[in-house]
Structure 1
Amino acid sequence: MITRKKLFAFSIVLVALIALSFTKPAERYFEIAKNLDIFATLFKEVNALYVDDVNPNKLIRTGIDAMLNSLDPYTNYIPEDEVEDYRTVNTGQYGGIGAITREIGNRTVVTMIMEGYGAQKGGLKIGDEIQKINDIELAKLTREESGHLMKGQVGTPVTLTVKRKGVEQPLRIEFKREKIKVNNVPYYGMVGNDVAYIQLSDFTPDAAKEVKNALTALKEKGAKSVILDLRGNPGGLLIEAVNITNLFLPKGKLVVSTKGKIPENNLNYETLNTPVDTEIPVTVLINRGSASASEIVAGTLQDYDRGVIIGEKSYGKGLVQVSRPLSYNSQLKVTTAKYYTPTGRCIQVLDYTHRREDGSVGSIPDSIKRAFKTSSGRTVYDGGGIDPDIKTEPKEAHVLTQVLFEKGFLFDFATQYAFKHPEPVNPRTFSLTEEEYQQFIVWMKDKNYKYKSYLEYELQEFSEEAKKEKYYSELKGQLDQISNRIAESKKNELVLYKDEIKLLLEEDIVARYHLEKGSIEAGFKYDDDVKKATEILHDNAKYKKLLNL
């Protein structure tokens, strides 16, 4: 068991180590050795004397995580058994069959099939429930254990036993694992007659190459402008961000600078290649999930007035990490520098250097944010992510919609719909009819999806405060009346939130026929950001005015 005393003792070691930055080198080395010795002897005593048995690996991991978490969330320890997953995230590659699964209740279901890989070639379908992997029942495994069973050495066999709607007996399907490469660009295509749309979801190796290929192909199809969608993109390799901006900027342009404690980390990254097109109008879509490398691309294009940024303020991660090998095949991912856009902006929103007394971290206050000028003289600011040139309102899914998704009701209805309607649908024009949506409402009647709305939580909190303040007896009648009105409204909730429920249903249904690309296309008709970007790109005067050109 880990006590507060142990963590307090460990924090003393940490504070001592931080203080070393103000000491002379000889004193610093002595203090490091001293504190490491204190920690080793402390751990030895705890291990020997603590009332219960302690797990050395778990205890040390807790200590390491607590120490690194006091720095920032991006400096992490990766033990040997997690290194492979870490590499998968950073490279987008793994050995598997190309199927994405999800747990719904006690079921493990296939939610997406990647095109061209073993899962698709072997006949696996979205909606299939995986019951066994290599004759081992999934019910007996954790999510992590089943994930490791699915992945493996390229060329090795794996057998899945699946339950499929409409098929009485479970199916046994054999596959050979192959090298799976998750595309950085899951979709590109035309929006209208002359606007290219490129969705970039990651910055793993070849991200710039994939964007370049997409842009080139769409220009050949007649694209006169481009939408680059970075919404929800958490970032990745900095060099890929540099190369992507290079597609729209000429050689020799500064893209990003990094500055750290060690001089070797103070670097300037410039465009080095011949661009694809320095004139084509560009809009970039961002939201709160656009971070790091996404912000480099958006910020650089904004600084050079090379594109109009549309959406929400981005995440605000202006820190650079590198990986360092440790003993026993483990690794350390450590923050080594901050990055700065061409104007000199650091878009880091949280100040981990100056923590509050309770250890919490605050945003950089507006009062100390600095103004910078873009190439055409527009004012932009540092210290808080990338501010879009055109702000759009975020759309939060209602609690009901979230519950329907999490419990798998939308997924199961889509599976049933595809079983009853085997003919493929057109992703861009498909829409559930009023009659079909009514069928969904009827189908939901015997389903358990009870939930508390935000309003109900607030009403409950208000009631509890009223009891504390001795006002509850006076207000009880009114509170009961409000509660009854909310309950009455919830009876009609599937109609009230029809638009957002219908969107998810349609995307899920289309995926059954056209996989991920179809699902993305099905969402275009509901996508206000894409509509706004298309509108701007079709209005050259407004586009130039926004960029002060």
Structure 2
Amino acid sequence: MIRFMSMRRITLFRNFRRWPRTAAILSIAGVIVAIQPASAASGAISAADNYFAATRSIDLLGEVYKNVSQSYVDPVDVSEFMYSGIDGMLDQLDPFTSFLDEAQSDELDEITSGQYTGIGITIAVFSGDLFITSVIGGQPAAKAGLQTGDQIVAIDGIRTTKRPIDEIRSAIKGPPGTVVRLSIRRDGQGAAKLIAITREEVRVSTVPYAGLFGSSGYVQMNSFAEHSREELSSAIRAIHEEAAKKRIALNGIVLDLRGNPGGLLTSAVEVAGLFVEKGSKIVSTRGRAADSEQLFVTKTDPQAPSLPLVVMIDGDSASASEIVSGAIQELDRGVILGESSYGKGLVQSIITLPYDHILKMTTAKYYTPSGRLIQKPIARDDSRRKAVLSTGDADSTKVFYTRNRRKVYGGGGIRPDVAVRADALSEYLHTLEKSGQLFRYASRFHRKHPELQLKRLQSEPVYEEFGRFLEKERFTFRSGAQKKLDSLKTLVQKEGVGEDRELAGQLDLLDKALAASTKRGITRDSLRITAALQREILRHYDERAAQRKAIESDPVAAKAFSLLAEPARYQALLKP
């Protein structure tokens, strides 16, 4: 029997990819646990044919499931086996349609609401040890005196070593009013101290930083949740107040959506409504049915209707970020600066299933005010079964026009009006950050200098000390080229030519040359490494000061501020 489940009124415009599972993926062409009614206009296949195919597939899947669960040579976890089958089935559709179990459903609620019950920290594992990487001000952890850099040795008496990070997060969270006991080592050093913290509802702001830089306001948004409009509005109001207090004529706002994966559709419309006139068309969505189009317009008067606006985006700006930047661009309300966005023009709806499970399913595509589909083509494996009959990919060469008749293009994200590519991290610096070496050195520095005057940080010999720290930690780095050479050496040994002394000598010479080249590259990168060290150290003392320092040294943000300082150039960019 096919059951039609209810669809909650939550529409996601976020770059949520599929949650990972531990079980192997089983690709099965089969039944959907909850099926949305099909429209008569949905394609050449009739409703009767669809019903018969679905019923037949359910029967087949049931027989396969029963036989495997009862007779497979080894014991099978029947729940995980079914979850793997569902995952494999949905994997045929797109990267964003997914099945969520009870725990994953709770995580989705936290992301879309911007709230959860816990203590207000972020955590990460470096070299097998669990550290607090940031503490949210005003929340239980901050009230209890926890700091960035603290190592969590145990949770409620159970050591954190070798525990999965998801299990650790679940252990820290819990019902409001309950107590969690953490064994803490300050900056990862010294004896552990037991701290009891009462869990509370934690609200995470989607505006982690806002401030005045010269004559320009700057606001960073990292997602779109229920309270985003309110948080952005408050940030803009605070910038106006700061400018008035300093008697500065505000020349515009920079809205930083780089790295913002999206969120709620309604939030995107509300955020755009702070800048464009009431009644403006922001986005429309269309599903399979001919009559499924929905139009979303702003319903409130704007807070900043004429203040110059620069929106920064990059390749990780997706979904709701693309709705906002696309609307701002096409309504000629502001200038888009940075790199082309991700290109996710698919809408996911939340369908509730039995036993607190959820189907997050793509149900529509979204279109900007001019009619652009921003979705980039999804790469599909032609060797696999073809479950999706038609994708309707957008033509990236098709021309659309903004309100002022400027040309814009679809088929692959929002293209910026001013292209500015961010400086990529060097391979060495990326490795230092990913492995936690910068973080762990900053924690040691903070413990050694707990009362440091931050203005003295620039004169501290951190680069030299960091080098000695890496030696003590026995940190080694081999570049991508060196690793490929290692693979070549292994291949040579397997091929049986390892005894060729001349070849071995040539490989050794190449290894030494690559090592020297890597060392020279690290030396050339010393200034950037020093700046990264200083920012990470600063973060252990003052998170907000570190954020401001990062923005001040950001060359892309500098381009945005420079553009606002040139009104004639700014206005010229909004004309055809």
* TM-score computed with the length of structure 1 as normaliser: 0.90
C-alpha deviations, 1:245-286, integer Å up to 9, x for none? 111100111000101114564100011101012211111111
CA gap 1:268/1:161 in 2 versus in 1, 3 angstroms: same
Pick one of 132, 137, 156 that aligns with 1:115.
137
- Residue 296 of structure 1: aligned partner: 323
Q: Which structure 1 residue ranges, 5 or more long, are not aligned? A: none
Tell me the CA shift for residue 500 of structure 1: 3.2
8 Å Cα contact 1:415/1:509 also seen in 2? yes
Residue in 2 aligned with 1:133?
155
Quick check: 2:273–2:298 contact (8 Å CA) kept in 1?
Answer: yes
Whether 1:317 aligns to 2:344 is yes
How far off its partner does 1:490 sit? Answer: 3.2
1:93 CA drift (Å): 0.9
Question: In the alignment, which of 438, 447, 453 is matched to residue 410 of structure 1?
Answer: 438
Letter in 2 for 1:408: G
Deviation, 1:365, is 9.0
Please tell me the residue identity of whatever aligns with 1:392: V
Deviation larger for 279-288 or 519-528: 519-528
Q: Do 1:351 and 1:364's aligned partners in 2 also have CA atoms closer than 8 Å?
A: no
Alignment gaps of 5+ in structure 2: 1-21, 244-249
Structure 1 CA distance for aligned equivalents of residues 503 and 348 of structure 2: 55
Residue 471 of structure 2 corresponds to residue 445 of structure 1: yes
Q: How does 1:275-294 map to 2 (within 5 A)?
A: 275-294=302-321
- Residues of 2 paired with 1:140 and 1:42: CA distance? 37
Confirm or deny that 1:11 pairs with 2:47: no
Please name the residue that 1:151 is paired with.
173
Q: 1:191 aligns with which of 196, 213, 219?
A: 213
Q: Which residue of 1 aligns with 2:514?
A: 486
1:542 partnered with 2:542:
no
Secondary structure of residue in 2 paired with 1:11: coil
- 1:209 and 2:230 equivalent? yes
Select the residue among 560, 571, 575 that pairs with 1:533: 560
CA contact (8 A) 1:313 1:385 kept: yes
Aligned match of 1:51: 73
- The reply on whether 1:142 has 2:160 as its aligned counterpart is no
Aligned residues: 536
Partner of residue 39, structure 1:
61
Counterpart amino acid of residue 196 in structure 1: G
Tell me, in whole angstroms, the C-alpha distance in 1 between the residues paired with 2:565 and 2:298.
29
Inter-partner Cα distance in structure 2 for 1:99 and 1:424 = 24
| TM-score scaled by length of structure 2 | 0.86
* Matched residue type, 1:213: S
Give the equivalent residue in structure 1 for 2:300.
273
Change (3 A) 1:123 1:12: closer
SS at match of 1:448: coil
The residue aligned with 2:373 is: 346
Structure number with greater CO (CA < 8 Å, separation at least 6) is 2
The equivalent of 1:508 in structure 2 is 536
Matched, 1:376 2:376: no
What is the CA–CA distance in structure 1 between the aligned matches of 2:567 and 2:549, rounded to whole Å? Answer: 28
Q: Is the 8 A contact 1:430 1:522 kept in 2?
A: no
Asked if the contact 1:286/1:310 (under 8 Å) is kept, the reply is yes
Q: Secondary structure at the match of 1:111?
A: strand
Identical counterparts, % of pairs: 33
1:101-133 Cα offsets, whole Å, 9 max, x none, are 111122111110100011111011111111111
Q: CA RMSD in A?
A: 3.0
Q: Shift in Å at residue 323 of structure 1?
A: 0.2
What letter is aligned with 2:54? I
Output one character per residue of 1:345-370: Cα deviation in whole Å (capped at 9) or x when no partner: 11101246x76345799x99997531
Cα offset for 1:477?
6.0
Distance 1:270 1:404, change over 3 A: same
Aligned partners of 2:462 and 2:530 also within 8 Å: no
Aligned residues of 1:404 and 1:410 also touching (Cα < 8 A): yes
Counterparts of 2:227 and 2:384, CA distance in 1: 43
